[in-house]
Amino acid sequence: MTAHQVEDHGLLRFLTCGSVDDGKSTLIGRLLFDTKTILADTLNAIEKTSQKRGLGAVDLSLLTDGLQAEREQGITIDVAYRYFSTGTRKYIIADAPGHEQYTRNMVTAASTANLAIILIDARKGVLTQTRRHSKLASLVGIPHLVVAINKMDLVDYSQETYEKIKADYLEFAAKVGIDDVRFIPLSALNGDMIVERGEALNWYEGPTLMEILEAVPAAHTERAEKFRFPVQYVCRPQDSANPELHDYRGFMGRVESGSIKVGDAVTVLPNGLQSTVKAVQLGGVDIGEASTEQSVTLLLADEIDTSRGDMIVKTEEAPAAVKEIRATVCWLAEAPLDRARTYLIRHTTRDSKAKLTGIDHRLDVNTLEHVAADKLAMNDIAEVSFKLAQPLFVDPYAENRATGAFIVIDESSNNTVGAGMIL
Amino acid sequence: MTQRKTLSHLDWLEAEAIHIMREVAGQCANPVLLFSGGKDSICMLRIAEKAFRPGKFPFPLMHIDTGHNYQEVVAFRDKRAAELGERLIVRSVEDSMKRGTVVLKHEGESRNKHQSVTLLEAIEEFGFDACIGGARRDEEKARAKERIMSFRDEFGQWDPKNQRPELWNLYNARSHKGENIRAFPISNWTEMDVWQYIEREKLELPSIYFAHTRPVVIRQGAIVPVNVPLVSGELTNLPKAGEQIIDKLVRFRTVGDISCTAPVESDADTVEKIVVETATTTITERGATRLDDQTSEASMEQRKKEGYF
């Protein structure tokens, strides 16, 4: 750690949900501007554009202006990632476009986020899209939701309006089972309650948006999780001039959950052979132990034939090995899910051929009702079952994001066509 | 119940980058790591060491040399590859010019964008199915929407409307013969992260990243280095008639083809001073120093569609 970097609260990934009309781009622009992430040349460029468009003040939403291909068509194509830092914590914003293909983009952006900001226009209150965004955020397992009631300047900073929207939202949240949610009134346009408190919302006594972001735990979960170590790559440097390395066999991967240390009893799946951890290394150097999200190399006491796609777990907490899965799937491709075809499922570092065996129901993301379905088109979300050619070592998504998630690949195009969360 | 530790932001970024590199090694048959001798690719080599040592890297290193690179950087490139004991492939835009596959509009045209042609030729020559590069999403808005594993068709083209969705850390690096994956392990790093990492890991850099005095002219507001010696000893970037040469204390924030990278005024001669300067600068990295991105607002997007990194 360096002298001018006294504390490091890690890295928080969050997602902003809403359309341009809710002031999403202005909010992101405001966060970047108030944390001094925007530098002079970028600011000059958007000042010029603002003047060209005849705007009185600098339009911060221009900071998130997209690609030429998007401007030509007047649409936003894709999730954009943006970065800022407060000195103690680094932030990655996933900025998902608000309109078409929304479900697909939002699920993509949400899959790596630990917090979602759901924007509500104070003049409009809780809308269908608010419910849709919230449901998707909770479905993808984002642990922290912040409902930001924006454009308070346009409702005279009325506490009554804020309380009414909050009550409406809480009623909906109780119905769909969302419990960890915070509310904040703000004006992204004027910068009230983002980084600075401003003068207009003195009746609000809670933290600013930035204070919430700074205080939220960076880790996905506070729970102690079971140790899961999918093997990505096996290191066998036999051709090395160093004879000590002749028997070296390092299993390389990322600790997806839990922790491991030298001496722990482990089992390698699928062969089920047991051993103990001889060393935990990073770059060939012993580090003794490792925990969630660290990329390391494990050496075992016994010689066990292990390759990419295997999983190392602690012996007393092995996951289920299954050849059938039930999952919530979001379909991402233009071509609908074809019952007759065989797809490839990628789960951790393991692939298996898979075939749809049934669709239980589809979720109508607007009414949030379950409806009968016999096919899945782009942006559809449904509960489905697959049968698998190879066993996968799974945990329910609600318990473990890394070993509960999978993607569906179409082998003819190699495209990623679906995203699944195991039930 | 064990207490969960929060990784520092650099540890998190490093762990993510290692994971991505190992995915490329695990999923692709014949990858290559692009190494220019610049700061981002120097970080990539340290990440590769952490990912694969005590083994060898499961890929060679490759540099697409425009023939207009700073001699300090070329020397550093060769020295670093030798220290690591890894194979370095160099393919040259000048060879493409001799073959007639690169045709300059005029003698002085920047060769930077022509690297795409040479890169595609090298991909074909060696049959690479994946190229690992050090591009970052914070560099430029066409990069902000780039995937970590970016799919390119047979012509190396990036189609922003037809990219694979990328969820969780489940990367899809599959490709058919002739197609190509570009993998970007440090996508989520900013310029500041790179400098903090260089500081923490005590990484050695080419000397031109640090403040030094060199002859420059001021051309359309930008500091343009002149009379720059090439590896051959020949001088390039000669001043135009009437331009006044001045000696300035400068350093480079990005390093690339001589014709399109400009230095900034700076007295930061250590990594510590550069970290402080990066924290307080008022100009973006590319805005200050990349003459090629100023040609038009969409020039990076355009070059990427044509197979550029």
Domains and CATH numbers, chain B: 9-192+298-305 (3.40.50.620), 204-294 (no CATH)
What pLDDT score was predicted for residue B153? 86
Query: Which of A270, A296, A317 delimits the end of a domain?
Result: A317
Closest residue to B138, CB basis, from A83, A221, A332: A83
Boundaries of domain holding A109: 11-215
Residue A5 resides in a domain: no
Residue A358 resides in a domain: yes
Scanning A9-28 for CB atoms below 8 A from B yields 9-11
Task: Identify whether residues A74 and A43 lie together within a single domain.
Answer: yes
CA distance A217 to A144: 9
Rounded to two decimals, the ipTM of the complex is 0.93
The torsion angles phi and psi of A104, rounded to 5 degrees, stand at -60, -50
Residue A394 resides in a domain: yes
CB atoms within 10 A of CB A315: 15
Interface A-B, measured as beta-carbon pairs within 8 A, has a size of 196
What pLDDT score was predicted for residue B291? 56
Task: Identify whether residues A25 and A112 lie together within a single domain.
Answer: yes
In A143-200, DSSP assigns E strands to: 144-150, 181-185
Contacts of B164 in chain A (CB under 8 A): 415-416
In A53-158, which ranges are continuous DSSP H helix? 68-73, 102-110, 128-139
Is A216's pLDDT higher than 60? yes
One digit per residue, pLDDT tens: chain B, 309 residues? 344 568 999 999 999 999 999 999 999 999 999 999 999 999 999 999 999 999 999 999 999 998 889 999 999 999 999 999 999 999 999 888 898 898 888 877 778 888 889 999 999 999 999 999 999 998 877 788 889 999 998 888 888 777 899 999 999 999 999 899 999 999 999 999 999 999 999 999 999 999 999 999 998 888 999 999 998 889 988 999 999 999 999 999 888 888 888 899 999 999 999 999 888 776 766 665 555 544 444 566 666 666 666
A228 touches chain B (CB under 8 A): no
Assign A408 a pLDDT band (cuts: 50, 70, 90): very high
What pLDDT score was predicted for residue A368? 85
Task: Identify whether residues A179 and A307 lie together within a single domain.
Answer: no
- Number of domains, chain A: 3
Question: Which whole number is the average pLDDT over A208-236?
Answer: 89
Task: Identify whether residues A334 and A299 lie together within a single domain.
Answer: no
Scanning A256-275 for CB atoms below 8 A from B yields 259
Number of H helices, E strands in chain B: 10, 12
Q: Determine the residue type at B2.
A: T
Residue-wise pLDDT tens digits, A92-106: 999 887 665 678 888
Residue A289 resides in a domain: yes
**Are A254 and B18 an interchain contact pair (Cβ–Cβ within 8 Å)?**
yes
Residue A87 resides in a domain: yes
Residue A220 resides in a domain: no
What pLDDT score was predicted for residue B300? 62
Task: Identify whether residues A50 and A198 lie together within a single domain.
Answer: yes
What pLDDT score was predicted for residue A222? 65
Is the Cβ–Cβ distance between B262 and B251 less than 8 Å? Answer: no
Assign A24 a pLDDT band (cuts: 50, 70, 90): confident
Residue-wise pLDDT tens digits, A103-161: 888 899 999 999 999 999 999 999 888 888 898 999 999 989 999 999 999 999 999 99
What pLDDT score was predicted for residue B1? 35
Task: Identify whether residues A85 and A98 lie together within a single domain.
Answer: yes
B96 or A350, which is more confident = A350
Task: Identify whether residues A234 and A172 lie together within a single domain.
Answer: no
Is A6's pLDDT higher than 80? no
Scanning A78-107 for CB atoms below 8 A from B yields 78-83, 85, 89-90, 92, 104, 107
**Are A11 and B12 an interchain contact pair (Cβ–Cβ within 8 Å)?**
yes
- CATH assignment at residue A330: 2.40.30.10
A46 or B104, which is more confident = B104
Question: What's the angle, vertex CA B18, arms to CA B134 and CA A247, rounded to 5?
Answer: 130
Q: Dihedral through CA A382, CA A384, CA A389, CA A393, nearest 10?
A: 80
Q: Which residue of A has its CA nearest to B54?
A: A284
Task: Identify whether residues A25 and A138 lie together within a single domain.
Answer: yes
CA distance B266 to B251: 6
Is A364's pLDDT higher than 50? yes
Query: Between the CA of residue B200 and those of B14, B46, B194, B280, what are the distances in Å?
Result: 12, 11, 10, 19
Question: What's the angle, vertex CA A393, arms to CA A388 and CA A394, rounded to 5?
Answer: 95
Task: Identify whether residues A137 and A201 lie together within a single domain.
Answer: yes
Query: Which of A215, A239, A272 delimits the end of a domain?
Result: A215
